[in-house]
Amino acid sequence: MQKKIISTICRFIATLGPIGYFAAPGTMGTLAALPLAYALLTFSVAWQLAIITILFCMSYVIIDQALNSFTTDDPSQIILDEVIGTLVTFCGLSYSPVIFLTGFAFFRLYDISKPFGIRSLEKIPGSFGILIDDVGAGILAHLMLRLMFV
């Protein structure tokens, strides 16, 4: 019974409640992450990296538990990975509407198309594979933003 409760709570967190069940869940998860990405910009880059690392580790455990209540290896409803990828995208950058709009577009483009080896990261089994391809897309989007705006 306790395992079922933990799995249910983790599923709720991993899907960001109902957001993971909306149409285009990855895009909705990325949109939902933007306020958190903005809030993180108030911290130093070192603190941003520390917070993202902690959230990555927590997300690993949460997604791992949530997977018990799904029948596929990488359910589209799990969008906590998009949150982590979005945070990576904007880490250490300044806020501007143009940077956020461009970063959003780059992250979604790279998360969907998975270029430059990101697709191979997605093939890593379990919650690590679910998370790491979004981190890869976030790093690529971040680099593009740096090339364009910094």
Residue 41 sits at φ, ψ, to 5 deg, of -65, -15
**CB–CB of 79/16 below 8 Å?**
yes
Q: Look at 55-59, 61-65, 71-75, 140-144 and tell me which has the smallest mean pLDDT.
A: 71-75
Q: What is the mean pLDDT of residues 81-88?
A: 98
How many folded domains does the chain comprise? 1
At residue 121, what is the residue type? Answer: L
pTM for the model: 0.94
* Model confidence band, residue 1 (pLDDT cutoffs 50, 70, 90): confident
Asked whether residue 112 carries a pLDDT value surpassing 90, the answer given is yes
Query: Can you give the three-state secondary structure of 11-66, one letter per residue?
Result: HHHHCCHHHHHCCCHHHHHHHHHHHHHHHHCCCCHHHHHHHHHHHHHHHHHHHHHH
Please give the pLDDT value at position 39: 97
How many whole angstroms separate alpha carbon 142 and alpha carbon 150? 11
User: DSSP state, 95?
Assistant: P
Q: How many CB atoms lie within 10 A of CB 8?
A: 14
**21: containing domain:** 2-149
